[in-house]
A and B are shown apart, each in its own frame.
Chain A
């Protein structure tokens, strides 16, 4: 009476989508999905919410705008010289610094958000992983106890995939 992990491996996107749908309707859990391509159909089938990366980008942008202006003002106040009759803290040219920092920090925010939300970098190898998922196969990881394993294997087979049981 042991619970073992089972992975269904599919060659086609529609097979994987169908298997995800059936698995979600059943009592077997869905642990993980691997896809060799970015796929809207699969994210729809998994019912994933919209990514929250955009909020990181927005925060980065706002922070960058403030940082850019602050840097420009701070550095001019360090060297308080009036050059060609311009005020020391001049708003018009500082917009450029603020603008560039907005973009730079927005990109940093975007990158950090992407890394945080996809939990990267990951140093150790995944457990229960089939190397074919790094090739051309779609992988769907589930688990089952010994008695209803047959049903799960049948589910994967029915949708045109092969199943691998992790011992």
Chain B
């Protein structure tokens, strides 16, 4: 029986890689077609939205592990390992960011020589690119260093093959194994990751999303961006946990109480996200300054964006809020899978709502079509492949921590 089951495992592994490769091919085929055809700005719009969305999911999910370390929480158990696997998307996200440079004339509508009233010093393509490049480098650097110490703390055996694994094994052998020191370093880099997360995601929010409309400012926009990233990061983590829990081929199982706890945290961040949205809105509403209100009016009162605004609000806040009030729902992985997917789609639409208007002026039709869905599938494929890669390199991530060093 042994060779048989091994063959089946081999086959599923192969079909998984094929599936992700097919998704990526579809996505980037559509993207290339979009670039080559008459509307490159539509392709770049979908690219930017997906870059922001999937990077935020990965960054927010890894944040969960760092948060658990920093607060010395013990309830997370096997969820921490899962969240660390999302770091597999970091290098992909970094490369995706570099590719964005080639579309800078499309994704930075302010770079077409309009009068920026003195903001040119801050908003020029080389500076914007360099500072975001450095920011992401710092964020991912802290993330990987944190994960390195997290893996050292798990005291995994120095075997196993694979490119990343062998580098890790070599590093592990050359290091003195002092558990106290490892724990301290892990805590330190966890905090650095948290700080970098808040600062770098704020920067990305200001530069890549808010600056789309260069005359509009909202001081809270950065905080809004990273709170949103935590929200969808937790959503992504729940989806991964639910899929692995429901898949009979993995031996990863979570208890009801784990799903309940992570569901509560997701629910809480649903509220925090809505709160940050509201806090921005109420300040703009009270101030009633034309430069500020124009942004909101265009998105919530004008065709076609107002429909999108209400759909986003319903899908990302109203629906999850009322559904997640129920305790039982949070313990059912199937339902949480659906709810979190719907929320992430809602946040995708929310990105479109923020980014869309400056890219397609005076349109009466929503710039949304089948090509956007196909390009998003390509990014989904990238995410699946990087998660799979992380789990093949470090299968320990999918198991409950057997020996937790305090």
- Are both chains from one complex? yes
Say yes or no: is B12 at the interface (Cβ < 8 Å to chain A): no
Question: A86 CA to B281 CA in the complex, in Å?
Answer: 15
Residues of chain B in range 273-303 having any CB-CB distance to chain A below 8 Å: 278, 281-282, 285-286, 288
When the two chains form their complex, are residues B281 and A85 in contact, meaning their CB atoms are under 8 A apart? Answer: no
When the two chains form their complex, are residues B288 and A93 in contact, meaning their CB atoms are under 8 A apart? Answer: no
When the two chains form their complex, are residues A96 and B282 in contact, meaning their CB atoms are under 8 A apart? Answer: yes
Number of A-B contacts (CB under 8 A): 12
Question: A85 CA to B282 CA in the complex, in Å?
Answer: 15
Say yes or no: is A37 at the interface (Cβ < 8 Å to chain B): no
When the two chains form their complex, are residues A92 and B288 in contact, meaning their CB atoms are under 8 A apart? Answer: no
Q: Which of A84, A85, A95 contacts B278 (CB 8 A)?
A: A95
Q: Report the minimal beta-carbon distance from B145 to chain A, rounded to whole angstroms.
A: 41
Question: A85 CA to B290 CA in the complex, in Å?
Answer: 13
When the two chains form their complex, are residues A93 and B278 in contact, meaning their CB atoms are under 8 A apart? Answer: no
Residue of A nearest to B286 (CB): A93
Q: Report the minimal beta-carbon distance from B373 to chain A, rounded to whole angstroms.
A: 34
Q: Is the interface of A mostly helix, strand, loop or mixed?
A: helix
Residues of B within 8 A of A85 (CB): 288
When the two chains form their complex, are residues A84 and B282 in contact, meaning their CB atoms are under 8 A apart? Answer: no
Residues of B within 8 A of A95 (CB): 278, 282
Question: A96 CA to B281 CA in the complex, in Å?
Answer: 12
When the two chains form their complex, are residues A84 and B281 in contact, meaning their CB atoms are under 8 A apart? Answer: no
Question: A86 CA to B287 CA in the complex, in Å?
Answer: 11
Q: Report the minimal beta-carbon distance from A83 to chain B, rounded to whole angstroms.
A: 11
Residues of B within 8 A of A92 (CB): 281-282, 285
Residue in A84, A85, A92, A95 whose Cβ sees the most chain B Cβ within 10 Å: A92
Q: Report the minimal beta-carbon distance from B296 to chain A, rounded to whole angstroms.
A: 11
Question: A76 CA to B278 CA in the complex, in Å?
Answer: 22
Q: Report the minimal beta-carbon distance from B199 to chain A, rounded to whole angstroms.
A: 29
A62-103 interface bits toward B, Cβ cutoff 8 Å, 1 = contact, 0 = none: 000000000000000000000011100000110110000000
Residue of A nearest to B287 (CB): A84
Residues of A within 8 A of B281 (CB): 92
Residues of A within 8 A of B282 (CB): 92-93, 95-96
Question: A86 CA to B285 CA in the complex, in Å?
Answer: 9
Residues of A within 8 A of B278 (CB): 95
Question: A95 CA to B286 CA in the complex, in Å?
Answer: 13
Jot down 11 A-B pairs with beta carbons below 8 A, ordered by A.
A84-B288, A85-B288, A86-B288, A92-B282, A92-B285, A93-B282, A93-B285, A93-B286, A95-B278, A95-B282, A96-B282
The 8 lowest CB-CB distance pairs between A and B, nearest first, are A92-B285, A92-B282, A93-B282, A92-B281, A85-B288, A95-B278, A84-B288, A93-B286
